[in-house]
Amino acid sequence: MSVPPTITRFAPSPTGRLHVGNIRTALVCWLAARAARGTFMLRIDDTDAARSTEENVEAIRADLDWLGLVPDGEVRQSDRFALYEAAFETLHAAGRVYPCYESEEALSVKRRIARGRGLPPIYDRAALKLTAAERHALEAGGATPHWRFKLDGAPIAWDDLVRGPQKFDGALISDPVVRRADGSWLYLLPSVIDDIDMKVSHVVRGEDHVSNTAVQLQMFDALGAAAPQFAHMALLVGADGKLSKRAGAIGVGAIREEGIEPQALLALLARLGTSDPVVPVGDSRDLIAGFAFGHMGRAPARFDPAELAQLNARTLHLLPFNAVRDRLPAGFDEPTWAAIRPNLTTLAEAAALLATIEGPIATPAFDADDKAYSAQAAGLAETLDWSAAPWAQLTAALKAATGRKGKSLFLPLRLALTGASHGPEMAALLPLIGRDRTIERLRAAAG
């Protein structure tokens, strides 16, 4: 029997900007699809017209594009209402959805009474006991019903790709509201209808949706469709516990503004909560080969901005010149990139390091000994063969001439030549500074 194609979908609501939790879901969907040579879809869940904005839709697309998680297609729920109406009518005809007239206040009272009696606070299905005449009277009096999906009360079970075997007692779950009194849709039913229509094979989401899955499995069955496989990932937590936007920059836009490379963010999110080590990658496609749902654990996954910053530096140290050339300041070439790359934590620092090469730089305030040493170095620099390792020649000549070694040999030279006590390797940097600037800076340091 042939295996059906892998089709995943990332389904954000355009009611806000994407954050690291959203991106982790999108990434796993993308990895699952790419690992199986399947299809990765973007579904914009914009049924909440009051809160959804086109600005957020464009931002979602832009963030995915920046990350390289480019979908193979896109659908919008706001374009699919006719599909939902048809499925709703099918369920209505089968008695699997029914109208309810209680206000939210009345339902809240019922839940409090149930809890007070030690009972689960599930809906009592009072609306099912209404006669046609009673419903007509309510509607004639101005009541507009909301609609619930009728669960069958049977045990619900599935084998989750992350959490393993899952079991729910259907008798202890409330019939969920699927449509509001104003006719608008809640999340549960349209999502199922879309997954059926799009032939989604794998649904990836956070573990906070496990109870939703239990309900949705019965919706798939009621609509005569096979359910996809489900993978409920452990939620992300912050370095100090709960992940909160107030605790750090977890929005994709803020992370991008901080100079984080997309490969670094993806490399971290791909391995958080798994048994695999977090390692830098030069290309996000390098993450595909090692992907497996079975590597994901059930413990909360810890997102630490400090770890991301460290990984970003390691990622930059891998990137070839061609991967960054369009984002570098004018004046950069491949040898310059190779010289400064090991000292970067973000690409924005490249401009400052280029200034170290091209100048001007701060002239150090040397004492008399170091001024004399700089003057001696300037004279020796004029005699070097600048085509063959000038830094090694210069330091060897100075060591022989002055007896200096270690810090006293190297630090005054670095200060005179770069204006800083640390930075890129001088062996790579000095040829880029060049003969004339080297002599000029050493003479300036000599006073």
What contacts 423, CB < 8 A, 6 or more positions away? 343, 353, 356, 414, 429
pLDDT for the residue numbered 189 = 98
Nearest to 429 by CA among 342, 330, 325: 342
Q: CA-based Rg of the chain, rounded to a whole angstrom? A: 32
Given a cut of 50, the residues of the chain with pLDDT beneath it are 245-249
Residue that finishes a domain, picked among 153, 179, 205: 179
pLDDT for the residue numbered 249 = 47
3-state secondary structure of 255: helix
pLDDT for the residue numbered 118 = 82
Q: Listing from the earlier edge strand, what are the strands of the sheet with 97-100? A: 97-100, 146-149, 177-179
The number of domains in the chain is 3
Query: Are both 367 and 418 inside the same structural domain?
Result: yes
pLDDT for the residue numbered 197 = 98
Query: Are both 60 and 110 inside the same structural domain?
Result: no
Query: Are both 125 and 73 inside the same structural domain?
Result: no
pLDDT for the residue numbered 246 = 45
Query: Are both 67 and 123 inside the same structural domain?
Result: no
Query: Are both 69 and 143 inside the same structural domain?
Result: no
pTM flag (> 0.85): yes
pLDDT for the residue numbered 248 = 44
Query: Are both 277 and 254 inside the same structural domain?
Result: yes
Residue that finishes a domain, picked among 163, 179, 195: 179
Query: Are both 60 and 109 inside the same structural domain?
Result: no
Query: Are both 115 and 71 inside the same structural domain?
Result: no
Query: Are both 366 and 441 inside the same structural domain?
Result: yes
The 10s digit of each residue's pLDDT in 60-101 is: 999 999 999 999 999 999 999 999 999 999 999 999 999 999
Query: Are both 58 and 103 inside the same structural domain?
Result: no
Q: Note whether residue 365 is domain-resident.
A: yes
Question: Environment class of residue 192 by beta-carbon count within 10 Å: exposed (0-12), middle (13-18) or buried (19+)?
Answer: buried
Query: Are both 96 and 53 inside the same structural domain?
Result: no
Q: Note whether residue 218 is domain-resident.
A: no
Q: Tell me, what CATH number does 249's domain have?
A: 3.40.50.620
268 touches 308 (CB < 8 A): yes
Q: Note whether residue 87 is domain-resident.
A: no
Q: Note whether residue 18 is domain-resident.
A: yes
pLDDT for the residue numbered 208 = 92
Q: Note whether residue 219 is domain-resident.
A: no
Instruction: Show the domain range for 393.
Output: 357-446
Q: Note whether residue 342 is domain-resident.
A: no
3-state secondary structure of 37: coil
